[in-house]
A and B are shown apart, each in its own frame.
Chain A
């Protein structure tokens, strides 16, 4: 089995009093589009900045391409990054910007600048000044810069920002094509519907910690399923009360590495409130309730944004 392209363990980062990352674990396998999701301030951009060496972690380990990062410069030659929006010289044309960027770091292949401009559909505007580009065009130039050396790993922070619907569809196609060619793409995004269509796997982080990760298809295959999490001491009470409500066959304790305290209930997701009421009746108050209504619902329930 191939080593994961990104493997992060126990990553911690503090800015003054604010703890941005609290022991984040993350494993991104090769050749996938990996959605990196979390509410604002969850630690997504901090994580990406640590991966590319702009920030130093306070604790934890980072391995890229199966190796600890000893020689960050060499590792960075294999990464293309778009972090917090595109950053270019406003007075230069799109093409000149790519020429200037290509002069730092690894040498782009001959003709590569035209290739990436074509790829992001900017060749016809390549001679225009960057300052005159629309937000979507700037974003596409940012992707072009990330692709300049055809790196095996792309780290894209909100790449669809500012794109119109057609641009988002194009971006999705481009990223899928790149993944099919063997690139690994970590995409941080708030566009959950888009991520649902794009990502093979996702990690959802909140307050600097991983709250759920895995294959998107498996995470969303809980349609007709309600998952709740209760304190371990309350598990027997919760289980028996739910068995009384829905029958023993519908209630089981998952054995899939999710950790203790989880109960899975085979039931339509609209019965979640009934489940909650039943548990409250026996003095059990779940700290998480998940239903199989799509990534957005899962995201909101995991990050507490729906409370």
Chain B
């Protein structure tokens, strides 16, 4: 717990934390305000009905949560790569290891701190998103719907955890690569490549195969029917963290 407190102190006071999660919040607000503005100009019809589904509650809850593995996942991957990459560039990783802290424990605790912070950020951003969706509905002239829809509210904690896990799984890949490559850019580059690579792969790879790709599996957590996709996604997380722990234990730090 002492180590985790130290890691959280580092992250909470880091300006990049506010910048990155602030940008995600801004992106969510802009998306919803944009949707509201577009919907306001659309004549009645299929397109306007489609936007109504995204801006009217309780459906808006699910639409909002679906954004997080995408924008949140990308942002958290950048953040995780940044955090562990800067530990190399600042030499602070070296300092922690010379104090006799087991290396695997240090890096896993760093990741757990990132994940915990992401959960808090998700809750805050979710509230921001709800307010933005509410405002967008007002701009577009849609009724806001039923914010207190009982069935959706019961599902919501699970949905939040699914969105959070999706973000964390994508971030774990960037974290592992940045740690092993000793570079902030390497992990971020990998995740960006995966995001775009999977999009392009969709042109030639059938969806029943592509759903097991890392980003697709992480994003599919919310919508998955069975256990297979969640298990595959969790396997990516486990592999990323196991690789991080094993490789850092063996690493020579010159």
Chain A residues proximal to chain B, CB less than 8 Å: 15, 46, 49, 52-56, 72-77, 79, 81, 83-85, 87-92, 96, 99-107, 145, 149
Q: Report if B149 contacts A (CB, 8 A).
A: no
Query: Residues of B with Cβ closer than 8 Å to A?
Result: 2-3, 5-7, 9-10, 13-15, 90-92, 94-102, 106, 252-254
A102 cross-chain contacts in B, Cβ below 8 A: 6
* CB <8 Å contact, B92 and A103: no
Q: Are B92 and A87 in contact (CB under 8 A)?
A: yes
Which residue of chain B is the closest to A77 with respect to CB atoms?
B100
The answer to whether A104 and B90 touch across the interface, beta carbons within 8 angstroms, is: no
Q: List the B residue with the shortest CB-CB distance to A84.
A: B91
**A96-B9, A99-B6 are contacts. A83–B254 as well, Cβ < 8 Å?**
no
Are B253 and A55 interface neighbours, CB within 8 A?
Answer: yes
Flag if B13 contacts A96 (CB, 8 Å): yes
Q: Is the CB of A87 within 8 A of B13?
A: no
Q: In the complex, how many residue pairs between chain A and chain B have their CB atoms under 8 Å apart?
A: 89
Nearest to A142 among chain B residues (CB) is: B95
- Tell me, in angstroms, the Cα distance from A145 to B7 when the chains sit together: 17
Closest to A45 in B: B254
CA distance A2 to B242 in the complex (A): 43
A89-B98 contact given A54-B252, A54-B253, A103-B5, CB 8 Å threshold: no
Interface of B is mostly: helix
Q: Which residues of the other chain, B, contact A72 by a CB distance below 8 angstroms?
A: 100
Asked if A100 contacts B9 (CB within 8 A), the reply is yes
Give Cα distance in the complex from A79 to B101, angstroms: 12
Main secondary structure of the interface of A (DSSP, over half): loop
Check A105–B9 contact: CB distance below 8 A.
no
Bound form: Cα–Cα A75–B100 in Å: 8
Cβ of B221 to closest chain A Cβ, rounded Å:
32
> When the two chains form their complex, are residues A103 and B100 in contact, meaning their CB atoms are under 8 A apart?
no
- The answer to whether A106 and B10 have CB atoms under 8 Å apart is no
If A87-B90, A107-B2 touch, whether A52 touches B98 (CB-CB below 8 Å) is yes
**Can you list 16 A-B pairs with a CB-CB distance of less than 8 A?**
A52-B97, A53-B98, A55-B253, A55-B254, A74-B100, A83-B94, A83-B98, A85-B91, A87-B92, A91-B14, A92-B10, A99-B6, A101-B6, A101-B99, A102-B6, A103-B7
Give CA–CA (A73, B98) in the complex, Å: 9
Residues of A within 8 A of B92 (CB): 87-89
Q: How far is the CA of A102 from the CA of B3 in the complex (A)?
A: 9
Contact B3 A49 (CB under 8 A): no
